Amino acid sequence: MEYDFDLFVIGAGSGGVRASRMSASYGARVGIAEDMFLGGTCVNVGCVPKKLFVYGSHFSEEFSNAASYGWSVGDVPFDWSTMRDNKNREIERLNAIYGGLLSDAGVTLFNDRASLLDAHTIAVGEEEVTSKNILIATGSWPVVPDVKGKEHIITSNEAFYLEDFPKKVTVVGGGYIAVEFAGIFNGFGAETTLVYRGDMFLRGFDKSLREFVKQELEKSGIDLKFNTQVKEIRSTDDKDTNCRYQVSLENGGILNADLVMYATGRKPKTDNLGLENLGIEQGANGKIVVNEFYQTSVENIFAIGDVTDRMQLTPVAIEEGMCIANNLFTDNPKKTLNYANIPTAVFCQPNLGTVGLREDEACELYPGDLDIFESEFRPMKHTLTGKEERTFMKLVVQRSSDLVLGVHMVGPDAGELIQGMAVALIAGATKSQFDATVGIHPTAAEEFVTMRSISRTA
């Protein structure tokens, strides 16, 4: 049978765009459908605008520090509309670039919603197209629980486009998005409270880092409320508080807020794709189940990125897209991504960066065979400002092999530093090799190669 395309991609996020472009470069006829925005979550309502907001929100601290270095800047007003609109223009520029990349690669773009009719037929808007292979790369979407007053809640999607900047914010959630946005709102000048039902946020990260971030966020003025759940959110005209909403807590407490943002997780975006028509296997949260080569339970249909709920990271989706193109349209050996030692960062303030095993993970694998190195210090910058901000670094080392199993950091530019550490872990670096590396002085990074004293064994 002759198909319209060799590969049809549903979803033009980072993974879908990479898979389509690379497949086209190998000579495949490729179509791609997107009914929202090119570039997906990362470019539009995720990594890129979030990082811009983090940059913008950090200026309040820089202005405060400036006086210690001889700069008298006085009171500096913040204009939210300028920040938001400049961000919007940058996102529009990136959208155009993604469109250009697809066009230049010879990929046919459909600006419409797509769903599966059968294993080779896709409904795109009002038309139908056929493809030998189909790739689902629709990403994920914020999840908001059924709390009373849910209609007053926004998610991270809406936070990027607020009409007015709030004076008081309640952020609900304990993942990296909640922590990052708490820092953003706080930095821009809002009185910020973070509410989390658990006893410590950032589950999935090393315990030492989680505790250190808690300490630093509290120093910055963010009110952290753990083991706390929201009971109800009500609209209010209370002139005493001059706030739009009243947040009632299960413990009887009351929070007043102009904005209530929930960052309580994301789920794979699989609704109305027609997966059930084909019997494509899905997990409890709707994720698409795939094998090691990203193949679903239907032989010619594949899935990558957040929709598979493996690791919700843009670079992971991009690498998976590269694997799809290689596996389908070249004679090279099949590729799959190695999910070990993937570095990541949380752009809280200060940043968190991590690669490799957490201490508890290493303890399970190598009990009684670990040396833990930790260092905490005040960044050199603050020796003049007098600020109490601290930096924390940690190495997890297997004693018998001397291999560095994990590198963790909380501090300015942690993500930038950990990227280099990830290369070392991929290369199988030992603690002796770290010790033999000459540091760059004076930098925070040199601490990673000068830690000599074992903090504890495990």
Rounded Cα–Cα distance for residues 62 and 50 (Å): 19
Among 344, 315, 307, residue whose Cα is nearest residue 202: 344
Query: What is the CB-side half-sphere exposure of residue 261 using CA atoms within 13 A?
Result: 28
How does DSSP assign 335-374, residue by residue? Answer: -----TT--EEE-SSS-EEEEE--HHHHHHHSTT-EEEEE
Rounded Cα–Cα distance for residues 257 and 276 (Å): 42
The residue with tokens 């086209």 is 24
Among 306, 170, 193, residue whose Cα is nearest residue 245: 170
The answer to whether 391 and 208 are in contact (CB under 8 A) is: no
Rounded Cα–Cα distance for residues 199 and 183 (Å): 19
CA 82 → CA 44, 86, 198, 258, 261, distances in Å? 17, 6, 36, 20, 22
Which two tokens mark 85? 């609109």
Question: Which residues form the catalytic set?
Answer: 441
Burial class (CB in 10 A: 0-12, 13-18, 19+), 399: middle
Rounded Cα–Cα distance for residues 243 and 168 (Å): 8
Burial class (CB in 10 A: 0-12, 13-18, 19+), 168: buried
Rounded Cα–Cα distance for residues 125 and 111 (Å): 9
